[in-house]
Structure 1
Amino acid sequence: MQRSETWATGWSIARIAAATMIAVAVIAQFASSVAGAVDAGRDVATVVANFFSFFTILSNVSAAVVLLIVGLRFFVRGRPLGPEPVALATALAWVSTYMLVTGVVYNLLLRGIPLQPETVPWSNEILHVWGPLFLLLDLFLGPCRRRLGWRAALGAAIFPVAWIVYTLLRAPLITNPTTGAPYWYPYPFLDPNTDGWGSVVVYVIVIAVVIVGFAVGAVAVGRWRGIRSS
């Protein structure tokens, strides 16, 4: 199926459309967050920095960029049906992992938490449900998949680990622009002030295992479906 030019053309258009959908959702939420900060007299610079400190936002922005590049490359390069370049195939496997983790973590741990007044409901669903679902479908249906080495799965953990370190180091230095608390954590399960550091460590370990597990799965599917480079 992935060597059919008709299928590859249609799915490349779908990738561009999905990238556009995700980008529109991010922009809409960003505009709402900034507008809410202005109306409430909060520090806008802090709100903007916090916005781009959410794993959800970073994973969605990364996914939109990679999907757009992969989709446009298909047409710019004259509709090639050979395997994607290693760097691009690796990036696609990684953002697929991050988006799947975003969807699973949100729907298992955060779905029941009331939305903030600035949250755009339809944007929230795209970023946490429909975007991850498209990346899941892309994993099984996307054309021109390359067979990657297993090291690509381990490499997927680099960004989440760096994000966790950044989050835990930055959080105590930031005043929460909404509550005035002398700290700001993007997600309650990373906040040691809630249930202590023991709970945070457990969540970090579980999420790390999930990320590596999903990355191994993404690479495994790619190896099963992938085109052998000549």
Structure 2
Amino acid sequence: MTSSAPAGRAAPTAWTAVRLVAAGVVAAAIVAQGFSTIGSAAASGHHVPTAAANFFSYFTILSNAATVVVLAWAGLARLPRERRTSLDPRGLTTAFACVTTYMLITGVVYNVLLRAISIGPDTVRWANEVMHVAAPLLLLLDLVAGPGHRMLRWRAAFAALLFPLAWIVYTLVRAPFITAPASGTPYWYPYPFLDPYGPAGWGGVWTYIAAIAAGILAVAFGVVAVLRLRARRIRI
């Protein structure tokens, strides 16, 4: 038997509420952490515009900001009664797949490699947990159970590379012109693995970039695979 109804149609209204509330919570986490980080920089006499620009140069912050946009988009798009059981636009599902990829990678990398070394005095702990644990888990749950997601072509996975590659180019171009606020070194990289002045040098940086690209593609293909599997099950 074939059905044209989207996945998760049993509770579209509940999911709409979850997405909109989650968008608000993640936005609040970004704002809270931003006030703390930038406020601490100002209290220490650092250049506030640079501190603000540095804050929004972290992949984690940008990925969470994108999560706010996509969750709000997904929630608001389904508020009209006639849209509650329909498939999302292809652009929205593609954006969702990309953001889910970024947040899953952010969650895994942070909790496996960075949790023990990245908690600073300016860290807002609840906001930190929202951005690195709750938001990635919510997107994973939305991927496997949320309503409205449509089947994507495999090539959609390559779209997930566009933002991270642009972010890497931005980071590598900007970093040599920024003085590190804490140490005073004449460069600032948001993550050690992008710092060519580290022990591994540029060779290590390019190795990490290649690994990041491969990891993003692997996760993105996994996300697209889940969306395709869900769509096929609905048609059975």
Per the shorter chain, which TM-score range?
over 0.9
- Among 208, 212, 217, the alignment partner of 2:213 is 208
Contact 1:9 1:79 in 2 (8 A): no
Letter in 2 for 1:222: L
- Correspondence for 2:135 among 131, 137, 141: 131
**Which residue, out of 37, 62, 65, partners 1:61?**
65
Cα shift at 1:194: 1.8
Structure 1 residues not aligned, in runs of 5+: none
**Secondary structure, aligned partner of 1:42:** coil
In structure 2, the residue matched to 1:99 is 103
- Structure 1 residue identity aligned to 2:214: V
TM-score norm. by structure 1 comes to: 0.94
Residue 111 of structure 1 corresponds to 115
Identity of aligned residues (%): 52
CA distance in 2, matches of 1:214, 1:114: 24
| 1:181 partnered with 2:185 | yes
The equivalent of 2:54 in structure 1 is 50
Shift of 1:2: 5.1
Note if 1:12 corresponds to 2:16: yes
How many residues were matched structurally?
Answer: 229
Matched residue, 1:223: 228
Per-residue deviation, 1:3: 4.9
Q: Distance in 2 between matches of 1:3 and 1:126?
A: 26
Whether 1:149 and 2:150 are equivalent positions in the alignment is no
**Cα shift readout 1:60-81 (whole Å, capped 9, x = no counterpart):** 0001111011011111353431
Provide the TM-score with structure 2 as the length reference: 0.91
Q: Judging changes above 3 Å, is the alpha-carbon distance between structure 1 residues 143 and 176 closer, same or farther for their aligned structure 2 residues?
A: same
SS where residue 75 of structure 1 aligns? coil
With 88-97 and 186-195 compared, the bigger mean Cα shift is at: 186-195
Gaps of 5+ in 2: none
What CA distance in whole angstroms lies between the structure 1 residues aligned with 2:193 and 2:81?
44
Contact 2:105 2:216 in 1 (8 A): yes
| Whole-angstrom distance in 1 between the partners of 2:150 and 2:82 | 18
Deviations 1:85-129 (A, max 9, x none): 011111111111111111112122211214222111111111111
1:78 corresponds to? 82
Residues in 2 aligned to 1:34 and 1:69: alpha-carbon distance in whole angstroms = 28
> Partners of 1:55 and 1:111 in 2: how far apart?
15
